Amino acid sequence: MLKNSDLIIPDWPAPAIVRAVISTRNGGVSQGIFTSLNLGNHVGDAPENVAENRRRFGAHLPREPLWLRQVHGTNVARLDDLVDTDQDADAACTSRPKMPCAVMTADCLPVLFCDKQGTTVAAAHAGWRGLAAGVLQNTLAAMRVAPSEIIAYLGPAIGTDAFEVGPEVLHAFVAKNAASGKAFHDIGGGKYLADLYQLARLFLADAGVMGVYGGGFCTVIERDRFFSYRRDGSSGRMASAVWIEPN
């Protein structure tokens, strides 16, 4: 069982029947660059260590998630009737009780969703490509709830002081929404510091979601707490999960 300090419990006004939990890099059995709670089975870690880490994380969930095959895209898997997510998807949603929606990240932005009545939940993996392409908007559409009735939580991602990008990233966002330029700070030489959290808040607000919580993490700088692909080149993965837990 993981300690409370090994996990993040989102601080958001979700209904009592909605539960959520986010892993950190701590509390597992993996070694070396994967120390210690690596949940990714596609990064080169020993399979037996990943299995134990997933068992430890899964002890805090009603069941093991149906892990997605994430490809930095915009597809959303509906888990209401699925028994296996053998598909490419970067988000999941469900109205099925005790079915966790989960995404893995190591710099990209995990976004958790629920509606104010606790009838549906969702989780999205939003790297800059997926975010610019509309993964959050697709997730909201798949939830089949009015956006004004949805709240969101922004989990651990690369922070604005660490996320250096080129002009192609700026242009990808500005082409979608001119106001996105406010989330980029020009540092010269054709480089910018990008704020994923600000971009997500902007896109969610444009979609009609006003209740957005979380943010303020940096997976790169907080090396003792989070995995970071950008910082380390090869790294483990954290997971963010949300589900409906009936009373």
Q: Where are the domains of the chain?
A: 4-145+152-158+219-244
- 3-class DSSP state of 196: helix
pTM of the model: 0.98
CA 107/CA 127 separation, integer angstroms: 8
Provide the mean pLDDT of the chain. Answer: 96
User: What is the per-residue pLDDT across 32-89, written as a single tens digit (0 to 9) for each?
Assistant: 999 999 999 999 999 999 999 999 999 999 999 999 999 999 999 999 987 776 779 9
Count of residues making up the chain: 247
Identity of residue 11: D
β partners of residue 94: 121
Output the CATH code of domain 4-145+152-158+219-244: 3.60.140.10
